């Protein structure tokens, strides 16, 4: 390929192998740190809220069935989507796997449906023991989530099925960073968990956001980036965090998970004291194991609740098409997607470090073949995706 360009026709798959579906923008919580509905969340500015049409979702699933993509459903709160059961069954019938995150407040009433539809993983977002979690998420949220997890666990055990696997995702923030151990070793029954994910709070600086807007204006004709602005934070708000203590708690949890056979995922992958310090000091690119290129535009796509398509999780300001106007395959192979990929072949966006995929080194099964092709089959521009 000349000029470091990868055309979609060069890939083995003409369709995405990893699909994020934002089912709806609605949420029943207002978690303080959330980039959507939190204290500085971008969704607070929306004058109306949208849901993806069920027929559109079914059309995407049917079109992509030949490559059996891996799906992730989210919102808002995905369990508030009125057709969630139909979506899960449709994905199951198409032979694909699906994960979904949830704040846990609706788990108890949805437990029978979730055990019947058998999503691969159910990620429950918790931020610490009850008093810490509820300080960030709302009164009684922890208790509702744990009751729901217990019911799902009991029902799947009665059925004799391992699905859905039950996971807890924790976002490390200034409020909860001293309470990681309290959550997992005191407030939860680790014997009921199959997986755990720890992610440092996503953010970008104001300068990152300004630089991103400039790139969008100059390269793509997009004038503003209001949705990305929901991630803007001043690194000074993290200055008083105890980075050593965070690393110690994660190390202890990692040891336990290794012994107990619990899958542990951390963002960043190397949660050392030094890496955590650099992360929260906005010194991302001197961390160890940091990407120089991102392979996900050749593997994954994301459709938001308004039908807009992009490849950057939660960054919807740059739209590559809309599924109400074109099929996902047409968008995936289209001119805008190619231009977007070509830009990322050369350099990352100024806000990439605020994306969880920036720290994800292993796509799910089914998507890895395409990543390998991008990373080793396309010359210099595809080398050293992760250093």
Q: Which token pair is 179?
A: 């309470």
- Cβ neighbours of residue 76 closer than 8 Å, sequence gap 6 or more: 22, 23, 24, 25, 26, 27, 36, 49, 305
Q: Which token pair is 169?
A: 């995702």
- pLDDT, tens digit, 9 for 90 and up, residues 183-208: 999 999 999 999 999 999 989 999 99
Per-residue pLDDT band for 55 (boundaries 50, 70, 90) equals very high
Per-residue pLDDT band for 56 (boundaries 50, 70, 90) equals very high
Sole residue written with tokens 């202890």: 252
Q: How far is the C-alpha of 205 from the C-alpha of 383, rounded, in Å?
A: 28
pLDDT on residue 315: 74
Q: Is 336 exposed, middle or buried (0-12, 13-18, 19+ CB in 10 A)?
A: middle
Q: How far is CA 248 from the centre of its chain?
A: 25
- pLDDT, tens digit, 9 for 90 and up, residues 5-31: 333 433 447 899 999 999 998 888 877
Secondary structure of residue 45 in the 3-state scheme: helix
Looking only at the bridges linking them, the beta strands covering 308-310 and 321-322 are antiparallel
Q: Which token pair is 216?
A: 């969008």
- pLDDT, tens digit, 9 for 90 and up, residues 139-164: 899 999 999 999 999 999 999 999 99
Which of 203, 317, 314, 208 shows the shortest CA–CA distance to 267? 203
Q: How far is CA 367 from the centre of its chain?
A: 15
Q: How far is the C-alpha of 217 from the C-alpha of 211, rounded, in Å?
A: 10
**Helical residues (DSSP H) of the chain, grouped into ranges:** 54-64, 84-93, 107-117, 130-137, 141-159, 180-181, 206-215, 243-260, 273-280, 328-332, 335-346, 368-376
For the chain, give me the number of helices (H) and strands (E)? 12, 10
Rounded to the nearest 10°, the torsion over CA 51, 76, 357, 327 is 0
Which of 63, 71, 166 shows the shortest CA–CA distance to 364? 71
Rounded mean pLDDT, 199-225: 94
Contact (CB, 8 A) for 183 and 142: no
């Amino acid at each position: 390929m000349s000029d470091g360009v990868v055309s979609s026709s060069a890939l083995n798959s003409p369709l995405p192998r990893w699909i994020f579906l934002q089912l709806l923008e609605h949420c029943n919580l207002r978690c303080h740190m959330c980039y959507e509905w939190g204290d500085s969340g971008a969704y607070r500015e929306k004058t109306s809220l949208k849901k993806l049409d069920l027929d559109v979702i079914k059309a995407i699933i049917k079109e992509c069935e030949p490559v059996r993509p891996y799906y992730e459903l989210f919102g808002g709160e995905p369990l508030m989507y009125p057709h969630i059961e139909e979506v899960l069954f449709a994905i199951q019938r198409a032979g694909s796997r699906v994960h979904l995150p949830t704040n846990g407040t609706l788990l108890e009433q949805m437990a029978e449906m979730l055990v019947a539809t058998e999503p691969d993983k159910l990620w429950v977002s918790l931020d610490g023991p009850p008093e810490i979690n509820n300080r960030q998420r709302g009164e009684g949220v922890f208790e509702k989530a744990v009751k729901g997890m217990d019911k799902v666990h009991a029902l799947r055990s009665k059925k004799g099925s391992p699905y859905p696997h039950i996971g807890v995702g924790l976002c490390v923030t200034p409020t909860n960073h001293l309470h990681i151990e309290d959550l997992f070793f005191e407030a939860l029954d680790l014997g009921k968990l199959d997986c755990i994910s720890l992610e440092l709070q996503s953010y970008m600086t104001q300068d990152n956001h300004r630089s991103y807007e400039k790139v969008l204006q100059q390269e793509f004709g997009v004038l503003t980036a209001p949705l990305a602005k929901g991630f803007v934070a001043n690194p000074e708000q993290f200055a008083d965090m105890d980075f050593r203590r965070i690393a110690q708690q994660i190390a202890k949890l990692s040891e336990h998970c290794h012994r107990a056979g619990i899958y542990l995922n951390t963002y960043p992958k190397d949660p050392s004291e030094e890496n955590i310090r650099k992360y929260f000091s906005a010194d991302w690119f001197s961390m160890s194991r940091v990407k120089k290129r991102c392979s996900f535009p050749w593997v994954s796509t994301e459709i938001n609740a308004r039908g807009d398509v992009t490849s950057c999780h939660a960054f919807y300001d740059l739209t590559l098409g809309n599924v109400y106007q074109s099929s996902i395959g047409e968008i995936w192979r289209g001119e805008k997607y190619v231009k977007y990929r070509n830009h990322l072949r050369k350099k990352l966006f100024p806000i990439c470090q605020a994306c969880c995929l920036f720290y994800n080194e292993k796509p799910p099964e089914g998507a890895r073949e395409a990543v390998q092709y991008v990373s080793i089959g396309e010359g210099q521009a595809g080398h050293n995706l992760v250093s």
